[in-house]
Amino acid sequence: MCMSAEAFCRVRGASQDSGSGEMRSIPAYRVVCFALAIVLLFASALKTRLVLDSAWLATAPQPDEGWVSAAAAVMEWILAAWLLCGVAPAMARRAAMALLGAFVAMSAWRLLHGQVDCGCFGGLRVHPALTLSFDLSALSLIYWLGRAALPDSAPAGRSRMRLARIAGAAAVAVLLPAAVLAATHFREMRSEQLVVLDPQSWRGKPFPLLDFVDGPARADLLTSERTIILFNRQCDTCREYLAHLALTRGSKPQATGVRVIDIAPAGLARPDGFATAFREIRLRQGVVYAVNVPLEVSLKSGVVEKVRRPER
């Protein structure tokens, strides 16, 4: 059956118009993917800094602060690099939607439980309401803009352009996190401050070191009753007291409500073989804390009930 030239042009024009709507959404989709990748790299770098600091200080990693944070940082970096290089875009879109869905669930959970830090950006505090809004927006945009027929693999041809894009993605994925890590390091070095603590004035007031605790540990100190031991890893009396206290707390000291906080400057090395038996809370770096230790502080929902100096 033959088709007239006029009919052929109408069919071809309709086909081009339907395809152009999808193709117009592709540049917008790429912009959203690029923005999401940058945010993921930023978050990955800050999580990495928090994990490395904790490891350097030899703090005992907790389920929500140790390997989970490290795994999240790795997944965020991989997905960011994947989105930037443009390989298998349809699969990358599905992976991004899955990760954003998990982020939405976590941010919503923290928001509903009254937490003030989403824990997404390492030591940088961001309210869960802000991250929930961002995650929902990114998820919606990637879903709707990515509904255009994305191929399961990059189209053949233009190999030089593809290689250049992959090389550029690799450079961004390496240089941006490195720049964030370097910037946070030098900022802390230049902004060191001295905080003089007066324990005798704490009773009945919020624990003053709450403002210097980063990450989920802050929420832990605001929960129920906690006993805080301030110590210095270079202090012989502190180490002896912690060892004695561990013996009185049974076979699983980490499961108790005791938390220990090392106030020693970050540059001081740990004595060989020294490790606390209790869960350790990491203070913000770039601050010098001045207080006589060891010191025991009893908290209830973040408020100081009692302060005493151990006899031992």
First vs last C-alpha separation in the chain? 101
Does the pLDDT of residue 60 top 50, yes or no? no
Of the pLDDT bands very low, low, confident and very high (cuts 50, 70, 90), residue 98 is very high
Lowest mean pLDDT among 101-110, 188-197, 245-254: 188-197
- pLDDT score for 184: 63
d(CA 258, CA 224): 12
Q: And the tokens for 286?
A: 């770039």
d(CA 144, CA 138): 10
Name every residue whose Cβ is closer than 8 Å to that of residue 278 and which is 6 or more positions away in sequence: 229, 242, 245, 246, 249, 253, 254, 256, 258, 259, 260
67 compared with 232, residue with greater pLDDT: 232
Tell me which long-range contacts 138-145 makes (C-beta under 8 A, separation of at least 24). 138/32, 138/35, 138/36, 138/96, 138/100, 139/97, 139/100, 139/101, 139/104, 141/29, 141/32, 142/29, 142/32, 142/33, 142/36, 142/93, 142/96, 142/97, 142/100, 143/97, 145/25, 145/28, 145/29, 145/32
Whether the pTM exceeds 0.85: the reply is no
Q: And the tokens for 213?
A: 């605790």
- Cβ atoms of 282 and 213 closer than 8 Å: yes
Does the pLDDT of residue 266 top 70, yes or no? no
d(CA 177, CA 147): 30
d(CA 292, CA 295): 7
Does the pLDDT of residue 305 top 70, yes or no? yes
65 compared with 207, residue with greater pLDDT: 207
Does the pLDDT of residue 249 top 50, yes or no? yes
Lowest mean pLDDT among 8-22, 118-132, 171-185: 8-22
Does the pLDDT of residue 62 top 50, yes or no? no
199 compared with 50, residue with greater pLDDT: 199
160 compared with 144, residue with greater pLDDT: 144
Phi, psi (rounded to 5 degrees) for 228: -105, 130
Burial of 51 (C-beta count, 10 Å sphere; 0-12/13-18/19+):
buried
Quick: pLDDT tens for 38-47.
Answer: 899 888 888 8
Of the pLDDT bands very low, low, confident and very high (cuts 50, 70, 90), residue 2 is very low
Of the pLDDT bands very low, low, confident and very high (cuts 50, 70, 90), residue 186 is low
- pLDDT score for 304: 95
Whose tokens are 């879903």? That residue is 143
Fold of domain 193-308: Glutaredoxin (3.40.30)
Name every residue whose Cβ is closer than 8 Å to that of residue 289 and which is 6 or more positions away in sequence: 195, 197, 209, 212, 263, 283
Residue span(s) of the chain under CATH 3.40.30 come to 193-308
The most confident of 27-36, 118-127, 152-161, 283-292, by mean pLDDT: 27-36
Percentage, residues of the chain above pLDDT 70: 71
182 compared with 143, residue with greater pLDDT: 143
Percentage, residues of the chain above pLDDT 90: 24
Does the pLDDT of residue 197 top 70, yes or no? yes
Of the pLDDT bands very low, low, confident and very high (cuts 50, 70, 90), residue 153 is low
Average pLDDT, the chain: 77
Quick: pLDDT tens for 209-224.
Answer: 988 886 678 888 887 7
- Cβ atoms of 238 and 309 closer than 8 Å: no
